Structure 1
Amino acid sequence: MMRLNKLVVLVLAFFCCHLTVIAQQVTGKVTANDGTPLLGVNISVKETKTGTISESNGAFQIAASPGNTLVFSYIGFATYEVTLGNEKNVDVTLKEDAQSLTEVVVTALGVQRESKKLGYSVTAVNTDQLTQNRTTNVMESLEGRVAGLNITPPAAGAGSSMQIRLRGQAAFAGANNAPLIVINGLPIDQGARGVNGLGTPRDLGDNLSNVNPDDIESMTVLKGATAAAIYGARAANGAIIITTKSGRKNQGIGVEYSSNYSTQHALNFFDFQTEYGQGTGGKRPTSGANAATTGHFAWGERLDGVPTPIFDGSLQPYSANPDNLFGFLQTGTDFTNTIAMSGGGANGSFRASFSNTDAEGITPNNEYNRKIANVGINHNISKKLKLQLNINYTNEQQVNPPQIGTQGPGAVNFFTRLATSIPLSALKNSAIAANGTETLTSGFQGTLLNPYYALAVGQRYETNRDRFLSTATLRYDLTDWLYVQGRYNYDFALTFTESHDPGGIGTSVPTNADGTFKGGYNLSESKGTDVNADFLVGGGKEFGKFSVDANVGGNTWRVKNNGFNQSSSNFIVRDLYSIGNGSVRNQGYGFSQYRVNSLYGWAELGYNNLLYLNFTGRQDWFSVLNPEDNSELYQSVSGSFIFSELMKNQTWLSYGKLRASWAEVGSSNGVNPYDGVLTYGISQNQFQGQTTAGISGNSAPNRFLRPFSVEEKEIGIELRMFGNRVTLDVSAFDKITTDQVLDVQLSNTSGYNSSKENLGSLKNSGLEFLVEVKPIQTPNFSWTSSWNHAFLATKVLSVGAPSEIIVLNWGATGNEFIGQLRYVEGLPMNQVYARTYLKNEEGQILLTDQGRLIPTTDYVSFGSSIPKHTGGWNNAFTYKNLSINIHFDYKLGGVVISSTALNANRQGHSKQSLVGRREGEKGVVFPGVYRSNEQPNTTAVDPATFYADYRNNQMGDIVTFKSDFVKLRNVSISYNLTDLMRKSNVLGFIKGLSVTASCRNAALLYKDIPDLDPEAIQSSGDFRSGYENTSLPTTRNFNFSLNAKF
């Protein structure tokens, strides 16, 4: 017996020793691609099913044998496997998986939901795209990356705004067509303070400039009405949901630093003629006085280099200087630095960051500075009570944003209309005349300003904006499936603007004996307060194969705005910028406030991970509407069918979903406070010593106004195939907007000029595609290619009786007196109208007996300015720690009238204007027939007269082009140095390090419009849709960035 016991002990000892050899302890560390330690990573041994999770510093320990396979899995990252040899230490770097990241998305009201349960189109943005090709406005990085999201950055200087449209333009021009922006649960309007067709304004940016790309945790685009229906009236144009970072639990203290430096170089697409110089009637200037009134005409003699008088009386070679504009412009720069500290323990996490941006535009003295402080806190006060706090403070300073337009003192307007025979050095050195005023260069006094004069005498426009955003959320878990939540949002903005208009500038309204301006000074201040408070009661529970998720809540939204402005002009003492120095003074004050109260709810019913049905409803009560009828009900229903659950034996299909939705939402855009009641104002005039008052404005109140309505239907399919190597997402939608709020002209006998009414109906319908393919996926090399495309068809269903047309005259918005923007029943939206050639029944162009053009009496359509096709193609390559990204995008199917082309033809600068004045030509003999006898034209017309007729007759034929383009938008290359840092004895304290170099607007591969980049034609508003109005040249940006974690 004793011997048997000894034998058993020896056998057990042998096996224990053997197991010790086989099941050794393996240790290691798990980090993200940027070097951040990952807490809670699941590590398992594939053969034995044993497992563990990583600690806060990423460390782990697990028993495994040589030849075993360790499997590392973590939400948001690609699963990674490693086969063990004899090593006892294994360090693993997990890479983010874009597919995994989209499994859970942030939807309306900040609620996280599984994407498979959604019956509508939602796109989760890869936030790396926001920092790889950084610009001052975070949305610019998304051009061509999301199907149905149309982004156009106006070429309007540092810190300018974006035009953002989701699935077209829901309302007529003039209304707010931008999607709702929601930051940490706080809804804000885009608030574009940009060029919208009024005079020659400056672009002052938008509310998205408050967001630092380094602070963004997630961004979700809710395209359709169903996705955003729970936001009610504010989200008729869709919504973009942004969540900022707030640290991670149990990660310890970490510091992150990022630095980005970029240069912007103006792109020269101008190809003006360089054969003829300044002058009129085929003659060059003969004196300085003659030259001073013809500087912007190039109808002179052939350039020959002979010294010729210019505007300042000096003799200069009669030669071409085609790059004057680009000699005046400078290289723009943008330097952004962000430092952040984050940490987390068992009961919460935090992140605090500060960023500073210093930028200079491509026009001299255009500066932009932005400082952003951001704090995010998550804290478990108790096991059931949780606090989330987000605070954002932004200060923006914008100095001398350039003026845009052909009827004002913008630099582009000046140089593109200037004869190339005038050298840049003379414009700079002779800008100031002997009497201290602007030296006259052109007969267009007041329309064209030598920008060197403005620089020399200190013309200045400066705006300072402070913005404070805060969100506080308390959530209490009543049970493990039921919670109650309260949230308070506060948004405050203060904007101060000051402008100096120096004396001596040539003006069309002369105030001095010499016809120059005496100087002016303007001050303005505006305050806006936006308060949102909401509550939510929600929960979810499973009942066998069935699941229910339901939420009910309410919201109150209060807005208060006030502001004042003071101005003085006709200075008594020149260049003394004071309100009291002006002999003409004006002041004004404005105030408005309104409120919207809401109740809402939604419910989700699920069956067996196969079927999901969602319902939403929201009732809004508006203070701006008639109290007797001031509420609207918005509702939606959507469903999804995960048909891949029924096809699990089909190995080629990883995931398949059909979805469908219907929604009815609306918007009170266009209904302003007090539109339904009479308002009164106090006049500065007095009668018999008493202050007088009267009815304010010329618009008759309409107490029966109501929000316009948007009804949208959508269907779609999502497929992931061949082990998630191929992804397909297709959506079709149909959206109709009715009862839009429009201004209607009234007879003057009524005592008013206009009134607002609910009129008009518009339709947007389209298809959206996303195709993503991963042709190569190996441990060291991968290639992911994705293509998104959107087709958009628009139609005007009604503009209201009795008219079938709404006309927006560009001539009233600071343009070169050509064309109209129209909404015509039965045609696509945003029709570009102008006169055209008068023709006979055979289609021949009719001319006068003098060989001159005859315009049609009526305006005709040249097409819609809205592109029918938009999209992008992205290719991402990774080799070990090296990443390369190449992105193309395009817009096709729109038209544009070019003010630059109009002036270039009329003033003799374009190559087209050479026809009729080269050697052997006596004028333009236009191919047409005489109206009087329909015989072929043989009469030559002086070119200056011929091309002026297009402008004088409002004819758009030779200045209307396709706005199509195809661009190589971005090229970037990144390298992750984290592995090198870990191996370094000196730099081991650096937990993550990466560097990136990129180029934005790398190449314009195709365009139709001459001399311009088609993207330089847009603005943040819709009034100038389809009208190019001498914006700044677009730029090619070179970016260099560094990101380090400690």
Structure 2
Amino acid sequence: MHLQHTIPSVFRKWRLAALTLVLLISFSGAAWAQKVQLSGTVTNEKNEPLPGVTVTVKGTVTGVLTNGDGKFNISAAPTATLVFSMMGYESRQVPVGNQTTLQVKLQDQLTQLSDVVVTAMGIKKENKVLGYAITQVKGESFTKAREANVMWGLQGKVAGVNVTKPVTGASGSSRVVMRGGDFGASQPLYVIDGIPMVSGNKGSIDNMYGGKDAGDGIGSINPDDIESMEVLKGNTAAALYGARASNGVIVITTKKGTARKGIGVELNSTYSIENPIDYTAKDYQYEYGIGTGGKKPTTAAEALAAGRSSWGAKLDGSNVIQGDGVERPYSARKNNVKNFYDGGNTFTNTVALLGGNENVNFRFSFGDMNNHDIMPNAGIRRNNFTLNTNAKLGKNLTATINAQYIREKAENRPWLNDYTMNAAVAAYLMPTNYDIRDWSNPRKANRAENLWTTNNYWANPYFMAYETPNWDKTNRFIGSADIKYDFDSHFYARLLTGTDFSNTLGQFLWSDGIGFYPKGQIGMSNAYRSEFNAQMMAGYNNTFKNWSVNTFVGGNTMKRSSNNTSSSGDIFIVPGFYSIGNTTNKSGGYNLTESQINSVFGSAEFGFRNYLYLTLTGRNDWFSTLDPNNNNIFYPSVGASFVISDAWKMPEWISFAKVRGSWAQTGSDQDISAYQLNLTYSLPNSLNGVPLGGIGTSTVPNANLHPQLTTTYEAGLEARFLNGRAGIDLAVYSRQVTDAILNSPISISSGFTSTYMNAAKIGNTGIELLLTGTPVRSNDFKWQTSYNFAYNKSEVKALINGQSSMVIAQNRSGLWGDGGVPSYVYAEVGQPYGVLYGSTYTRDAQGRIVYDDKGLPVPGKIARLGNGIQPIVMGFNNTFTYRQWSLDFLIDGKFGGKMFSGTTNLAWYQGLAKETLPGREGGIIGEGVTADGKPNTVKVAAEDYYKFVANNIAEQFVYSSSFVKLRQIVLGYSLPQRWIKGSAFQAVNLSFVARNLFTIYQDVPLVDPESGYTTGGGQGFEMLGMPAVRSFGFNLGVKF
């Protein structure tokens, strides 16, 4: 049965489950224990009432919120414990006992070393018992200054997590790598409310002829729905999730409802404007214009032929004909990048309803994100509907239902990288005397593309924006049911099921008249993806005098399916009528894949006197994608924690101290697609309407493929000082990957292009540091600060068959004969993963450049030029609070990497870069020596010299990718409670937000230092991407 036929049944099942839950809730009892009525007031350290504090009965769903005066009323048994929590304050637990009236004071949250965190399987634990590093990021961090993709908001905030935002537009994906990653898939597993979600990148721009970034699964989550995000970096933390967690786990907990009087309403609204950052005004030359050999064009034909060249005469303001036949002043025209890319804007609104009683609570939210991207005629619209329900269905049974429906439409995702259809080619490479807006009419009178050059692949940017539309529409459902039965206070059983299902319709169009394919083409696709997880576990916890035990065992099955139906046609019969039925040549395709992982797992945690803890875990996975003889692997882990401050009496200035250590092994099939071990067949072609069969894969099946193995060691120290006003979290680790799975190229004479094999060994070692503190604190003023730092050293230890190196990726520069030089990313034994290679200058023993008898530099061998991945990542965050005002700013940076700039490479060839000015009038004599060691004295025309370098010397265009940025500023104001007391408002907050304000330090010219174009293996490549953006906006938050 095809997946599309199962969609209605899937939704019917969830609808039936939800209805059943409602009926159970309706008939559930009101109370199961003798309770007393409690009342009280919650204040801050200044004795000011705190409205909106969540007051819950520990271990239950019973809870209320404090009102505008900080007061609350709740029922609880005398043996119960009340938990008081609020964003920005330390949580507090208060036993009920014989009390009926409570006065509770909450302290400001001073550090990021949270007392309680969400760990693997969604289990909450005290931080002190953990033998590994875990960082909690509050949901508020993502809504203060929001991004279109929630993961972009994690930049600079967590030590050891390298977040990259590729220059692919507002609808693009993210690259998140923890502790260096490894070959192939290096991104973490995302888990939302206990269920793994599908988050693979849905498009790539580093294919042949470029491509477009179709986003990723995590990017569609509404940040307003996130309560917290736990980052599990070490394999010990992630081992219980198995193979898919070999690169770490990010656990997302969504917001829940609370028991309260009436229905609460929360509103969050943000409007921001995004402006492109144009580096060309300062890094281009504006002294010479279009032409070659120092001459201006005299006809339209000459102007078209020279359209890719700014090697003309000096700009003098005289009228000169351009490629469209119009004479315009031969004067500098700056800011073509800014003039083409619009000022974008994003308007986001989320409204949430929440409420409940002591037996059931709920939270429903609706989010709307409407983005107009800086690319003309492009943007993304996303709606999120989220419902979370918690219920106590009797004395021992609890149930949680989480459901998200996401509707998303993206229009005109930009084509990038290679020249075909990439509007950035014109924005960056038009001659210096051309105004890009003069080419805003995309078509000529005969419907042909209005080209500005004779190269049909250098597109008119407005034709790409308005005459080659693409769109995709996605409907996605993420749902889970978590049912727990407590047999008594020690034994429990838990059933957790969930699904992540999506359907995406898409279309692309090359309208008739397009330069590189005048007859046109159209294509459509209909893709379904689903993942289903079912997990059952049983657990036991107890305390015996000095000892405690917490253990569980369980099993999981994961089934993944995808199918894609595609159809296309080319050569339109009737111009301007864009339908597959209106094409001469039609084709179609269908693809179906299914895979499964079955697992068993267990964990045992032992504690001694609340200061010494030992945790053992194990999991075994069986993969359907691997050969039955090599398809399973066992992952053990052990972690230990020793809380020094609880074991021994410490000086008063030490509030908390803990050391930890862990060891773990995880495996992975690298998420290879199904059927890679089988020779598959397809019907790719036809003859006279008769289908012709053939082998349907270019990859040689490898039945000997087995899971790769990752072994990690970690040690750490956590401490807090001066009653929590300062803190440190230090971790050191070693991460070794053996039998890494690579898709390795093979000789095409075999009839195939590649094969999957266990081909490499790679190691990562590193250090992570988090410092937190409150340097200044008074009644009215407070300064909180944190600094995170991470250094990762990777090394390729071995490659298959004793190879010393292997090409991972190649840049796309220089493929159309219009300038550019190839460069590569290698895996090289003894070097960090992802080293850049390219042609170099030939130098003598003294390091001087060697020139030939024509005065041109002699190209050297292909050599190592640096590491494409920065090994050092840091972030510095500060919050200043004065009464009702607050000011946050974040500075982050990355250091130690290199970047090959394809944009700069092409700007040299075209005579646009200001470095090409020397020698324009009298020629250039390269500084260096000839082969015999004598000084070079041969003069070369500047155009010949710089074009030669651009075509032959990659070294010239490799720059440091290090940078420091002022990433974020938030200036906020909270209305005083006395202003809104007695009204319907509980809290009102208004803030001014700004992201990516300016770069404090960078080395690479023309482009932003974060302009890498891929989330894959080609790190260190940049070429003609979307410009980086600077955003400013306002945020309004209201609680009723």
What TM-score does the superposition give when structure 1 sets the normalisation length?
Answer: 0.89
Gapped regions of structure 1 (runs ≥ 5):
1-24, 43-52, 63-71, 82-88, 511-516
Counterpart residue number, 1:944 = 943
Counterpart residue number, 2:980 = 982
SS at match of 1:739: strand
- 1:821 partnered with 2:831: no
- 1:860 partnered with 2:863: yes
What TM-score does the superposition give when structure 2 sets the normalisation length?
Answer: 0.90
The verdict on how the C-alpha distance between 1:642 and 1:579 changes in structure 2, with shifts beyond 3 A counting, is same
- 1:426 partnered with 2:427: no
- 1:1037 partnered with 2:1031: yes
Conserved 8 A contact 2:352-2:365 = yes
- 1:334 partnered with 2:329: no
Superposed CA offset, 1:417-437 (max 9, x none): 1102123342125x4223221
| Correspondence for 2:371 among 348, 359, 362 | 359
Counterpart residue number, 1:765 = 765
Counterpart residue number, 1:411 = 423
Counterpart residue number, 2:254 = 244
Counterpart residue number, 1:730 = 730
Kindly state the Cα deviation for residue 842 of structure 1 after the two structures are TM-superposed: 3.8
SS at match of 1:916: coil
The verdict on how the C-alpha distance between 1:133 and 1:60 changes in structure 2, with shifts beyond 3 A counting, is closer
Distance in structure 1 (CA, Å) of the matches to 2:121 and 2:297: 68
The alignment's C-alpha RMSD in Å is 2.5
Kindly state the Cα deviation for residue 309 of structure 1 after the two structures are TM-superposed: 0.7
Kindly state the Cα deviation for residue 73 of structure 1 after the two structures are TM-superposed: 8.3
| Correspondence for 1:36 among 31, 52, 74 | 52
Counterpart residue number, 2:887 = 884
Counterpart residue number, 1:964 = 962
Superposed CA offset, 1:311-336 (max 9, x none): 11111100000112211111110001
Distance in structure 2 (CA, Å) of the matches to 1:779 and 1:482: 47
Kindly state the Cα deviation for residue 982 of structure 1 after the two structures are TM-superposed: 3.0
One-letter amino acid matched to 2:902? S
Matches within 5 A, 1:173-184: 175-184=184-193
Counterpart residue number, 2:1004 = 1009
Kindly state the Cα deviation for residue 780 of structure 1 after the two structures are TM-superposed: 2.1
One-letter amino acid matched to 1:170? D
| Correspondence for 2:1021 among 999, 1024, 1027 | 1027
Kindly state the Cα deviation for residue 188 of structure 1 after the two structures are TM-superposed: 2.0
Kindly state the Cα deviation for residue 226 of structure 1 after the two structures are TM-superposed: 0.7
Counterpart residue number, 1:438 = 449
Query: In terms of mean alpha carbon deviation, does 827-836 or 676-685 score higher?
Result: 676-685
Conserved 8 A contact 1:978-1:994 = no
Kindly state the Cα deviation for residue 785 of structure 1 after the two structures are TM-superposed: 1.1
The verdict on how the C-alpha distance between 1:139 and 1:294 changes in structure 2, with shifts beyond 3 A counting, is same
- 1:220 partnered with 2:230: yes
Counterpart residue number, 1:185 = 194
SS at match of 1:140: helix
Counterpart residue number, 1:378 = 390
Counterpart residue number, 1:521 = 522
- 1:163 partnered with 2:179: no
The verdict on how the C-alpha distance between 1:203 and 1:862 changes in structure 2, with shifts beyond 3 A counting, is same
Distance in structure 2 (CA, Å) of the matches to 1:154 and 1:964: 16
Kindly state the Cα deviation for residue 338 of structure 1 after the two structures are TM-superposed: 0.7
Kindly state the Cα deviation for residue 581 of structure 1 after the two structures are TM-superposed: 1.7
Kindly state the Cα deviation for residue 700 of structure 1 after the two structures are TM-superposed: 2.1
Counterpart residue number, 2:567 = 566
Distance in structure 1 (CA, Å) of the matches to 2:945 and 2:814: 24
Distance in structure 2 (CA, Å) of the matches to 1:236 and 1:78: 33
Conserved 8 A contact 2:177-2:186 = yes
Counterpart residue number, 1:501 = 510
SS at match of 1:759: strand
What percent identity do the matched residue pairs reach? 34
Conserved 8 A contact 1:661-1:713 = yes
The verdict on how the C-alpha distance between 1:91 and 1:746 changes in structure 2, with shifts beyond 3 A counting, is closer
Counterpart residue number, 1:490 = 499
- 1:839 partnered with 2:843: yes
Conserved 8 A contact 2:340-2:437 = no
One-letter amino acid matched to 1:108? A
Conserved 8 A contact 2:1013-2:1022 = yes
Kindly state the Cα deviation for residue 852 of structure 1 after the two structures are TM-superposed: 1.1
Conserved 8 A contact 1:200-1:814 = no
Distance in structure 1 (CA, Å) of the matches to 2:513 and 2:847: 53
Distance in structure 1 (CA, Å) of the matches to 2:814 and 2:529: 29
- 1:996 partnered with 2:999: no
The verdict on how the C-alpha distance between 1:889 and 1:680 changes in structure 2, with shifts beyond 3 A counting, is same
The verdict on how the C-alpha distance between 1:651 and 1:126 changes in structure 2, with shifts beyond 3 A counting, is same
The verdict on how the C-alpha distance between 1:251 and 1:555 changes in structure 2, with shifts beyond 3 A counting, is farther
Counterpart residue number, 1:915 = 918
Conserved 8 A contact 1:34-1:978 = no
SS at match of 1:900: helix
The verdict on how the C-alpha distance between 1:1028 and 1:226 changes in structure 2, with shifts beyond 3 A counting, is same
The verdict on how the C-alpha distance between 1:993 and 1:762 changes in structure 2, with shifts beyond 3 A counting, is same
Query: In terms of mean alpha carbon deviation, does 689-698 or 113-122 score higher?
Result: 689-698
Distance in structure 2 (CA, Å) of the matches to 1:960 and 1:343: 57
The verdict on how the C-alpha distance between 1:836 and 1:162 changes in structure 2, with shifts beyond 3 A counting, is same
Distance in structure 1 (CA, Å) of the matches to 2:802 and 2:846: 34
One-letter amino acid matched to 1:115? N
Distance in structure 1 (CA, Å) of the matches to 2:611 and 2:731: 20
SS at match of 1:736: strand
SS at match of 2:503: strand
Distance in structure 1 (CA, Å) of the matches to 2:684 and 2:189: 38
The verdict on how the C-alpha distance between 1:33 and 1:734 changes in structure 2, with shifts beyond 3 A counting, is farther
The verdict on how the C-alpha distance between 1:73 and 1:570 changes in structure 2, with shifts beyond 3 A counting, is closer
The verdict on how the C-alpha distance between 1:407 and 1:691 changes in structure 2, with shifts beyond 3 A counting, is closer
Kindly state the Cα deviation for residue 649 of structure 1 after the two structures are TM-superposed: 4.5
Kindly state the Cα deviation for residue 952 of structure 1 after the two structures are TM-superposed: 2.7
Larger Rg belongs to: 1
The verdict on how the C-alpha distance between 1:419 and 1:579 changes in structure 2, with shifts beyond 3 A counting, is same
Kindly state the Cα deviation for residue 999 of structure 1 after the two structures are TM-superposed: 0.9
Kindly state the Cα deviation for residue 79 of structure 1 after the two structures are TM-superposed: 8.0
Distance in structure 2 (CA, Å) of the matches to 1:787 and 1:97: 16
The verdict on how the C-alpha distance between 1:543 and 1:196 changes in structure 2, with shifts beyond 3 A counting, is farther
Distance in structure 2 (CA, Å) of the matches to 1:913 and 1:814: 18
One-letter amino acid matched to 2:868? S
The verdict on how the C-alpha distance between 1:424 and 1:197 changes in structure 2, with shifts beyond 3 A counting, is closer
Distance in structure 2 (CA, Å) of the matches to 1:723 and 1:811: 53
Kindly state the Cα deviation for residue 811 of structure 1 after the two structures are TM-superposed: 4.8
SS at match of 2:873: strand
| Correspondence for 1:869 among 872, 877, 888 | 872
The verdict on how the C-alpha distance between 1:778 and 1:194 changes in structure 2, with shifts beyond 3 A counting, is farther
Distance in structure 1 (CA, Å) of the matches to 2:410 and 2:104: 46
The verdict on how the C-alpha distance between 1:638 and 1:750 changes in structure 2, with shifts beyond 3 A counting, is same
Kindly state the Cα deviation for residue 499 of structure 1 after the two structures are TM-superposed: 1.5
One-letter amino acid matched to 2:841? Y
One-letter amino acid matched to 2:971? I
SS at match of 2:765: strand
Counterpart residue number, 1:608 = 609
The verdict on how the C-alpha distance between 1:194 and 1:924 changes in structure 2, with shifts beyond 3 A counting, is farther
Distance in structure 2 (CA, Å) of the matches to 1:396 and 1:813: 34
Kindly state the Cα deviation for residue 943 of structure 1 after the two structures are TM-superposed: 1.6
The verdict on how the C-alpha distance between 1:60 and 1:165 changes in structure 2, with shifts beyond 3 A counting, is closer
One-letter amino acid matched to 2:634? L
The verdict on how the C-alpha distance between 1:573 and 1:415 changes in structure 2, with shifts beyond 3 A counting, is same
Counterpart residue number, 2:645 = 644
Superposed CA offset, 1:902-936 (max 9, x none): 11111100111101114xxx2121012222x3321
Distance in structure 2 (CA, Å) of the matches to 1:950 and 1:406: 21
Counterpart residue number, 2:334 = 322
Counterpart residue number, 1:576 = 577
One-letter amino acid matched to 2:267? Y
